[in-house]
């Protein structure tokens, strides 16, 4: 159970940060030095995918242990 939370919480944070960075890089969210920068439009999805991978791993770990 502890491993589930140790993977899930960073996964959610990384997915959210990656989404914000992507939106800033695509100039959907303005008001930042990152707005309209192709660098952040590239880094954002990568960070978001890492976060989503951690979330999936956390779910798999929890299901294998048999706890709902």
Domain that holds residue 42: 2-65
Instruction: Name, in order, each residue with C-beta under 8 angstroms of 54's C-beta and a sequence gap of 6 or more.
Output: 7, 8, 10, 11, 14
Least Cα distance to 57 among 14, 19, 21, 18 occurs for 14
Contact 18, 46 (CB under 8 A): yes
pLDDT digits (tens, 9 = 90+) for 36-60: 899 999 999 999 999 999 999 999 9
Q: How confident is the model at residue 67 (pLDDT cuts 50, 70, 90)?
A: low
pTM for this model (two decimals): 0.87
Mean pLDDT of 24-32: 90
Per-position b or e across 50-65, b if 16+ CB within 10 A of its CB: ebeebbeebeebbeee
Percent of the chain with pLDDT over 90: 71
What SS3 class is residue 43? helix
Domain count, the chain: 1
pLDDT in the model for residue 64: 87
């Amino acid at each position: 159970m502890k491993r589930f939370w140790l993977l899930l919480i960073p996964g959610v944070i990384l997915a959210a940060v990656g989404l914000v960075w992507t939106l800033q890089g695509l100039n959907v969210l303005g008001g930042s030095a990152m707005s309209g920068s192709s660098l952040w439009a590239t880094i954002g999805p990568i960070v978001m995918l890492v976060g989503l991978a951690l979330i999936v791993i956390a779910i798999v770990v929890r299901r294998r242990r048999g706890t709902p």
